[in-house]
Amino acid sequence: MNILAAESSNPLLPPVGEIVVGTITFAILCFVMIKYVVPRFEQVFVARREAIEGGIERAEAMQAEAKASLEQYRAQLAEARGEAAQIRDAARAEGQQILEELRAQAQEESARIVARGEEQLAAQRQQIVHELRGQIGTLAVDLAGRVVGESLADDARRSGIVDRFLAELDGMATSGDGRGATVAESNR
Amino acid sequence: MTSSASALASVLAAEGSGGDDGFQAPTVEEFYPEPIAEFDLLGIAFEITRITLILWIATAVMIALMVAAVRKPSIVPGKLQFIGESGYSLIRDGMARDVIGPKGLPFAPFLASLFFFILANNAMSIIPFAQISPMSKFAFPLVLAVIVWVLYNWVGIREQGAGRYFKDAAIPPGVPVGALILVTPIELLQVFVIRPFTLAVRLFANMFAGHMLLAVFALGTVYLLNVGNFSIIFAPFSFLMALAMTFFELLVIVLQAYVFTVLTATYLNGAVEPAH
């Protein structure tokens, strides 16, 4: 056995069979690695890179979206604020206007009321004056008739006297107070 | 006679007789185990020994691990996938891309195969019950070196054209004309003979020597324990040495696989890019 081994014992001179076995074994491993294992590793690398890049892209998109919606929100807010201010101004102006109108109306109304009151007053005064004129005339005539003791039946005379008297009375009234006294004095 | 006396006698006898019964140091016979099967095919004699079986088992285990690592590939890797990816990335990024350059990525699968094949087979040198690396048989590193040799020459011819490739190999640019008498033979010898030879021998010799060292200290421990006199005291030292050598062997296993692959990448780099 020793002699047999010694024959092939040079470690640097390998038998051909061993070389073939080694080649085939390595070829099998190479085949599996190149055809199956490495492509899958590369696939995972690509998928991972894409996942990371995709994640970053998604995050960026979301950030942009958030920024856009913030801008939009701000713009809307500003718009709403402007609108509110506008509405407020309009309301204020309208209120002012309403107030003005109301004031004008009230003034008008009060003026009308005053005017009507004056009118009524004037009418009443007129009526009273009219009535008084008749009564005073009658009374004065009656009184004068009794005092004088003579009948003043003559209408023409009577009315002339009364008219004169009343005109005097009016003149007294317009010149000042103490008309009754003057009337009484002049009547006497 | 007591047993110790007989043991002493046997030791003395061993010393006297010149080593037949004494410590049997491991010899190169270690690497030629009895064949399990022998057959002839197409005129080639095949011997299936335990080293052949170790080669197959190591390769099969590596293939199984790799396939298992990528069986269900996911973006967030599991433990096995992570280990496989880290190993492949080391080759792909550290060698194919960084050593060979931009044209290197297509070589990544081959480099990875080379690395994992050598790693798995080297590892068998310290795996219990195997404890010998197929790479300590010169045939297997030689096969790899020849494949690498064929590959880088073929790539060189394909990338640069045969004329340019052989001219650059023989006459490196930038060398003074007078020096070419020396440089040309050395360069040609280096590119076409020394490179593959050193590639194969480096790996083979490392694994061969590593196995011898481990065997010496392991067998030494056993011998010192069994020889039966005070030399048992020295057995732990031998054992510790064997242990230390095992860790050293672990370093060599990884380093030699790495060196073989990185040198292959360097040669491919020289083939892909014209010399400058």
CA dihedral B18, B19, B25, B30 (to 10 degrees): 110
Say yes or no to pLDDT of A81 above 90: yes
DSSP A82-135: HHHHHHHHHHHHHHHHHHHHHHHHHHHHHHHHHHHHHHHHHHHHHHHHHHHHHH
Residue A150: the pLDDT is: 55
Cα–Cα dist B9/B1, whole Å: 10
Phi, psi torsion values for B176, nearest 5 degrees:
-60, 145
Q: What is the mean pLDDT of residues B162-175?
A: 81
Say yes or no to pLDDT of A71 above 90: yes
Question: In this structure, what DSSP letter does residue B174 have?
Answer: T
Which of A14, A36, A48 shows the shortest C-beta gap to B139? A14
Q: Which comes out higher in pLDDT, residue A72 or A163?
A: A72
Q: What is the mean pLDDT of residues B1-24?
A: 48
Which residues lie across from B75 on neighbouring strands?
none
Could you tell me the residue range of the domain that residue A52 belongs to?
15-115
Q: What is the mean pLDDT of residues B133-146?
A: 88
Whether A69 is covered by a domain: the verdict is: yes
Contact B85 A8 (CB under 8 A): no
Which amino acid, residue A154?
A: D
Confidence category of residue A1, pLDDT binned at 50, 70, 90: very low
Residue B276: the pLDDT is: 56
* Of B156, B182, B186, B108, the residue nearest B275 (C-alpha): B156
Whether residue B99 contacts residue B266, with contact meaning beta carbons closer than 8 Å, is answered with: yes
The pLDDT mean for chain A works out to 80
pLDDT in tens, A136-172: 778 777 777 776 655 555 666 667 777 777 788 777 7
Say yes or no to pLDDT of B4 above 80: no
Q: Measure in Å the smallest separation between the Cα of B11 and chain A Cα atoms.
A: 25
Say yes or no to pLDDT of B31 above 90: no
* Of B261, B159, B160, B145, the residue nearest B192 (C-alpha): B145
Whether A108 is covered by a domain: the verdict is: yes
Cα–Cα dist A141/A160, whole Å: 11
Residue A92: the pLDDT is: 92
Residues 6+ apart with CB under 8 A from A52: none
Say yes or no to pLDDT of B12 above 90: no
Which of B44, B52, B69 shows the shortest C-beta gap to A16? B44
CA distances from B40 to A17, B46, B48 (A): 9, 6, 11
Q: Which comes out higher in pLDDT, residue B248 or B4?
A: B248
Q: Measure in Å the smallest separation between the Cα of A24 and chain B Cα atoms.
A: 10
Which of A14, A34, A51 shows the shortest C-beta gap to B137? A14
Say yes or no to pLDDT of B74 above 50: yes
CB pairs under 8 A between A and B: 117
* Of B150, B78, B100, the residue nearest B262 (C-alpha): B100
Joined together, the tokens standing for residue B74 give: 């996911």
Residue A63: the pLDDT is: 93
- Which residues from A are below 8 Å from B140, CB to CB? 18, 22, 26
Q: What is the mean pLDDT of residues B134-148?
A: 89
Q: Measure in Å the smallest separation between the Cα of A8 and chain B Cα atoms.
A: 9
Optimal mutation site among B48, B111, B113, interface A, most CBs of chain A within 10 A: B113
Residue B161 parent element (H or E): none
CA distances from B210 to A89, B85, B124, B245 (A): 98, 29, 12, 8
Whether A170 is covered by a domain: the verdict is: no
Residue A76: the pLDDT is: 93
Whether A8 is covered by a domain: the verdict is: no
Confidence category of residue B101, pLDDT binned at 50, 70, 90: confident
Contact B144 A47 (CB under 8 A): no
Angle at alpha carbon of residue B150, lines to B144 and B156, rounded to 5°: 130
Residue B16: the pLDDT is: 41
Q: What is the mean pLDDT of residues B98-126?
A: 88
Contact B66 A34 (CB under 8 A): no
| Interface residue A11 vs chain B (CB under 8 A) | yes
- Which residues from A are below 8 Å from B24, CB to CB? none
Joined together, the tokens standing for residue B53 give: 């079986």
The domain tally of chain A equals 1
Contact B109 A21 (CB under 8 A): no
Residue B77: the pLDDT is: 79
Closest-approach residue (CA) in chain B for A22: B140
Q: What is the mean pLDDT of residues B224-250?
A: 83
Residue B14: the pLDDT is: 45
Q: Which residue has the tokens 């003043």?
A: A152
Whether A20 is covered by a domain: the verdict is: yes
Optimal mutation site among B53, B66, B133, interface A, most CBs of chain A within 10 A: B66
pLDDT in tens, A90-137: 999 999 999 999 999 999 988 999 998 888 888 888 888 888 888 877
Q: What is the mean pLDDT of residues B77-102?
A: 86
Strands B37-41, B44-48: parallel, antiparallel or unpaired by DSSP? antiparallel
Whether A71 is covered by a domain: the verdict is: yes
Say yes or no to pLDDT of A177 above 70: no
Residue A161 parent element (H or E): helix A155-175
Confidence category of residue B60, pLDDT binned at 50, 70, 90: very high
pTM of the predicted model as reported, rounded to 2 decimal places: 0.66
| Interface residue A73 vs chain B (CB under 8 A) | no
Query: How many CB atoms are located within 10 Å of the residue B19 CB?
Result: 10
Residue A153: the pLDDT is: 58
Residue A156: the pLDDT is: 65
| Interface residue A184 vs chain B (CB under 8 A) | no
Say yes or no to pLDDT of A7 above 80: no
Whether residue B95 contacts residue B265, with contact meaning beta carbons closer than 8 Å, is answered with: yes
Q: What is the mean pLDDT of residues A45-61?
A: 86
- Which residues from B are below 8 Å from A5, CB to CB? 29, 32
Contact B143 A22 (CB under 8 A): yes
- Which residues from A are below 8 Å from B62, CB to CB? 29
Query: How many CB atoms are located within 10 Å of the residue A111 CB?
Result: 10
Q: What is the mean pLDDT of residues B50-69?
A: 88
Contact A44 B70 (CB under 8 A): yes
Residue B144: the pLDDT is: 92
- The rounded radius of gyration (Å) of the Cα atoms in chain A is 66
Say yes or no to pLDDT of B71 above 90: no
Which residues lie across from B37 on neighbouring strands?
B48
The domain tally of chain B equals 1
Could you tell me the residue range of the domain that residue B120 belongs to?
3-272
Say yes or no to pLDDT of A180 above 90: no
Whether A75 is covered by a domain: the verdict is: yes
Coil/strand/helix, residue B38: strand
pLDDT in tens, B189-211: 888 889 899 999 999 989 888 88
Which amino acid, residue A58?
A: R
Cα–Cα dist B214/B25, whole Å: 11
Residue A184: the pLDDT is: 45
Contact A51 B75 (CB under 8 A): yes
Which of A14, A17, A33 shows the shortest C-beta gap to B45? A17
Cα–Cα dist B100/B93, whole Å: 10
Whether A121 is covered by a domain: the verdict is: no
CA distances from B267 to B95, B140, B163, B201, B270 (A): 11, 20, 18, 16, 5
Contact B45 A47 (CB under 8 A): no
Q: Which residue has the tokens 């038998």?
A: A15
